[in-house]
Amino acid sequence: MTLKQYFSNIFTGVKSLATGMKVTGGYFLRHHKEKITEQYPDNRDTLVLAERFRGEVIMTHDDNNEHACTGCTACELACPNGTIKIITKFDLTPEGKKKKALDTFIYHLELCTMCNLCVEACPTSAITMAPTFEHSVFDRSQLIKKLNKPGSKIREGVE
């Protein structure tokens, strides 16, 4: 190490330390203006979660209680740990033909890892991830959910 390097080491060291101290000092001075702490559960009403937050799988229903699930079981096949179980039935179309349709969409929240593969696999965008996270219950059986609402049927035109 030459003498020049020695002194430049000291200089760059002090400079980088001063840069770091400027950052934390700046935070200290304006700490009352910006806070990153979320005071959950006090702020439950105003809590803002990111759009991409993955809390649980839900099936979207419109106002007519209609969903877009054709019962194709693509999500069931895509799921790596058997979280989804789809039970299908056969509906009769007006022409008198039999048509495969969704009967029950069973979702095991307790097995789900929120990997989003089922949502990506769905050809009709029938399921999506909901930004909810308060999932604790006292009994495990309450985590087995039926996603299609009672009396719901498939939306017209969704194949």
Partner 1 sequence: MSFETLANWVHNWLYETLHPTVALLVEFAIVGVLIIGLFAVLGLVLVMMERKVSSWMQLRLGPNRIGPWGWFQTVADTLKLIVKEGMTPNNVDKLLFNMAPMLVIVVSMVIMAPIMFAKGIQIWDINIGVLFVAAVSSLSIIGVLMAGWASNNKYSLLGAMRSGAQIVSYELSAGLSILVIVVLTGSLKMSDIVMAQADGWWLFKGHVPAIIAFVIFIIAATAETNRAPFDLAEAESELTAGFHTEYSGMKFALFFLAEYVNIFVVCAIGATLFLGGWMPFHIGNWEGFNHVMDYIPSSVWFFGKTFLLIFVIMWFRWTFPRLRIDQLLSLEWKYLLPISMFNILLVTIIALAGWHF
Q: Which residues bind partner 1 (CB under 8 A)?
A: 9-10, 17, 20-21, 23-25, 27-28, 31, 34-37, 39
Minimum CB–partner distance for residue 20 and partner 1 (Å): 5
Query: How far is the C-alpha of 82 from the C-alpha of 111, rounded, in Å?
Result: 8
Residues in contact with 103: Cβ distance below 8 Å, sequence separation at least 6, in sequence order: 71, 87, 88, 89
Select 23 or 50, whichever has its Cβ closest to partner 1: 23
Minimum CB–partner distance for residue 29 and partner 1 (Å): 9
Select 42 or 139, whichever has its Cβ closest to partner 1: 42
Select 29 or 50, whichever has its Cβ closest to partner 1: 29
- Cβ burial of 129 (10 Å; 0-12, 13-18, 19+) is middle
Minimum CB–partner distance for residue 131 and partner 1 (Å): 24
Select 16 or 64, whichever has its Cβ closest to partner 1: 16
Minimum CB–partner distance for residue 41 and partner 1 (Å): 13
